Each structure stands twice: as C-alpha cells, then as structure tokens.
Amino acid sequence: MAARRQRTVITGGAGFIGSHLCDYFVEAGHEVICLDNLLTGSGSHIEHLLGREDFRFIDYDVTGYIHVGGPVDNVLHFASPASPVDYLEYPIETLKVGALGTHKALGLARDKGARFLLASTSEAYGDPQIHPQPETYWGNVNPVGPRGVYDEAKRFAEALTMAYHRTHGMDTHIARIFNTYGPRMRLYDGRALPTFFRQALKGEDLTVYGDGSQTRSFCYVGDMIEGIGRLLKSDEHEPVNLGNPDELTILELAREIIELTGAKSKIVFEPLPTDDPKVRQPDIAKAKRVLGWEPTTPRSEGLKRALDYFREQVAQGAQNG
Ligand code: NAD
Ligand code: UDP
C-alpha cells in the first residue's frame, strides 16, 4: 500500500515566512492546511496555491479552538504579528496569539500525535548583554515596555511548548528566529529592510532610528525555511537559533540599499524607539551541530533578490503587498 501523504498545518501561513513554508511543504509532497486570519498577512502570498488539491486555506483566528478533521503529522505555529510596528499596533492580539494561540496549536498537535514547531524569536534575548547570543543566554527583556507584548508572549510560548514536551512527551521544537528578509515582506510593515527599500525606490529619504549604530544580522528567507524544515525533523527539543551571523549596523544597511538601488536619497535620523536592542547576532554553533545547517545565501545575493521583489511591488503601487 502506498504511504499516506503527510498532512501539515501551518498557522500564520499567509504571512511572510509562513507562505514560504506553505510552498516548501507542498513541494515536499505534503498536504498543507494554512490557518490565518490575515491580520498582518495577505491572501496574495498564497494565491498561487489556491485551487490545488494538496493545499487548503482557512481564514481563522487560532486563538480559538482549532479543529482539523483527519490525521495531522506536523503543526507549525507561525501566527503572530512580527514587525515592531505591527505588534505595537496590535499589542493584545500579539499576546493572545502567543499565549492562547500556542495553547490551541499545541492542543491540536497533541490530539493528533503530530510533531510541533514553534516560531520563537531572537527577541527572547531582549536587549542582550551577551554577544553573539547563544541559546543558553536567558535574555534581558523589559516585560512591561512596549516591546514586552511580543517578547513575553514568545517567552511564554516557549515555556508552554517545553511543558507540553515534558508533561506529555510530545515531539516539539523551538526555532529562535533572527531577522529574516526576502520576497513577500510588506512594503509598509515598518521593518527596517522593506522600509529602506521602499524609501530608496521612491526617491525618499531613508529614516534611520537613533544614530544607526545598533546592529542586526539578516538571514535570507530561503535559508531560514531550510533550517526550519531540518529542525522539524530533528531530535532536538530545546530552542535552536536560526539566523545568519552576518552582522552589520543599521546605518550600513541603509547605505548599502542606497547604493544597490542607485537612489539619490539621503539618510535622515529619527528617535530610537523604546527598548530597541543595541546589538543582535545569532550564535549558530548549535544549529550547525544538531541540524548540519548554516545559511548559504550571501547578503549581496539576498539583497539583489529582495530588490527585484520590492521594485515590482513599488511599480505596482502596492500599499500592503
Ligand atoms: P507576518 O506578519 O508576515 O506573518 C504572521 C502571520 O500570522 C500573518 O499572516 C497574520 O495574519 C497571522 N496571524 C496573526 N495573528 C493570527 C491569529 N490570531 N490567527 C491566525 N493567524 C494570525 O510575520 P512573519 O515575519 O512571517 O513572522 C512569522 C512568524 O515568525 C511569527 O511568529 C514571528 O514571531 C516569527 N519571527 C519572524 C521573524 C522575521 O524576521 N520575520 C523573526 C523572528 C520571529
Ligand atoms: N529601524 C530604522 N528605521 C526604520 C525602521 C527600523 O532605523 O525605518 C531600526 C530599528 O530601530 C531597529 C532596526 O532598524 O534598530 C531593525 O528594526 P526592525 O523593525 O527591522 O526589527 P527589529 O530587529 O527591531 O525587531
């Protein structure tokens, strides 16, 4: 008898990373069920999959009880606003999807005996005092600051996932995802990289917050998806950092994007948001060791691919795409 096709549930599957995961698992031969309430995602990211017999989109808020008929082999919980601008606009929704949504997604996985993978974040480390950040660092998070709604929701989600693993023996995985970029980021999501591309492509000034000396390390989405796929199948249950250690300052990023686009734009400086982390760089020794994974797309190449996408978006006059 032929083996049954794997069935994979992806919450937040109409978002930036989630929609790439939908593509990845459909291509791997799975049947994919995408649950998303389109709070910060877009139907356009998964439009190309609609109508396939191995893909289903359900417009659903995963903070409520999740019912999926039939067997489920994998649950990937990616639903959550992720851009600081988004989670500051939706603070309660962010806390709810990190807490209640994770509870419901774990409950579904437990009921079905499925593998579970949580999209956690480098924000679990807050404004880090150890650099680069290994998984053993417990972080420096302000729980009651504006960013606390995201950071603490994800820290709670990690704690809940470990509790389900330890209590119920579930096959769970936690990805601490660092800044990721690529096609399908929204032009207006407020994150530095799409904002700088949009501003440069429209000939506007680039808004660097603070003096731009804060650092980030950007990972191309294709590399991230591969890391997530490997983590899901691994035997590792403790958190694993996924990201590209290629660190640069935000001012350097702005300058690179001006050069790459050939824009005449200037750089203007605006106030640094509250609790904005001063440095961020993943220590990926563990991912290399347990997953045999490391990013392979250099920044120069990833930025070129992102440029092609953002140029198209600007040309189409996308407001939200
Ligand atoms: P995104 O905003 O593009 O995607 C999130 C998706 O979740 C959206 O489609 C949104 O509509 C959906 N969603 C939100 N609340 C929901 C709810 N209650 N029910 C159903 N769907 C809901 O963001 P992204 O960048 O693709 O991030 C995806 C995941 O990865 C998030 O969990 C985020 O915390 C995590 N992450 C992303 C990054 C990054 O750099 N992109 C870094 C660290 C962690
Ligand atoms: N940032 C900036 N200009 C912008 C948007 C963001 O200088 O228009 C800065 C932001 O203050 C932070 C960094 O760029 O220091 C990365 O911000 P992003 O929103 O991409 O994500 P974060 O890594 O802070 O979650």
How big is the CA angle at 132 (ends 126 and 133), to the nearest 5 degrees?
Answer: 45
| Position 319 in a domain | no
> Residue 87 domain-assigned?
yes
pLDDT (tens digit per residue) in 10-65: 999 999 999 999 999 999 999 999 999 999 999 999 999 999 999 999 999 999 99
CA of 250, closest atom in ligand 2 = 14
Using the mean position of ligand 2's atoms as its centre, give its distance from the Cα of residue 167 in Å: 38
pLDDT of 321 strictly over 70: no
Within a domain: 195: no
Predicted confidence at residue 319, as pLDDT, reads 66
Mean pLDDT of 107-127: 98
Residue 309 domain-assigned? Answer: no
Q: State how far the alpha carbon of 266 is from the alpha carbons of 162, 192, 271, in Å.
A: 47, 15, 17
Q: Is residue 270 part of a domain?
A: no
Tell me, what CATH number does 146's domain have?
3.40.50.720
Ligand nearest to the CA of 99: 1
Report which protein residue has its CA nearest ligand 1's atom 1: 15
Q: Is 251 in the pocket of ligand 2 (CB under 6 A)?
A: no
- Count of structural domains, the chain: 1
- The answer to whether the beta carbons of residues 289 and 229 sit under 8 Å apart is no
- Distance set, CA 28 to CA 31, 46, 68, 190 (Å): 9, 16, 21, 32
Closest CA to 289 of 169, 149, 135: 135
Contact 125 CB / ligand 1 (< 6 Å):
no
Residue 267 lies in a domain: no
Ligand 1 center from residue 12 Cα (angstroms): 6
Q: Is 12 in the pocket of ligand 1 (CB under 6 A)?
A: yes
Mutation to probe ligand 2, out of 86, 89, 209 (largest number of atoms < 8 A from CB) = 209
Distance CA 35, CA 18 (A): 10
**Ligand 2 mean position, distance from CA 164 (Å):** 34
Q: Which domain holds residue 29?
A: 7-182+220-245+281-297
pLDDT for residue 1 is more than 80: no
What is the atom index within ligand 1 of the atom nearest the CA of 184?
A: 3
Does 258 map to a domain?
no
**Residue 320, domain member (yes or no):** no
Q: What is the pLDDT of residues 266-283, one digit of tens each?
A: 999 999 999 999 999 999
305-320 pLDDT per residue, tens? 999 999 999 999 876 5
Ligand 2 touching residue 249 (CB < 6 A): no
Active site residue 150: yes
Output the pTM of the full model.
Answer: 0.97
- Which among 24, 87, 90, 150 is annotated as catalytic? 150
* Average model confidence (pLDDT) across the chain: 97
Beta bridge partners of 119: 175
- Give 165-189 pLDDT, tens digit per residue: 999 999 999 999 999 999 999 999 9
pLDDT at 320: 57
User: d(Cα 20, Cα 41) in Å, to the nearest integer?
Assistant: 12
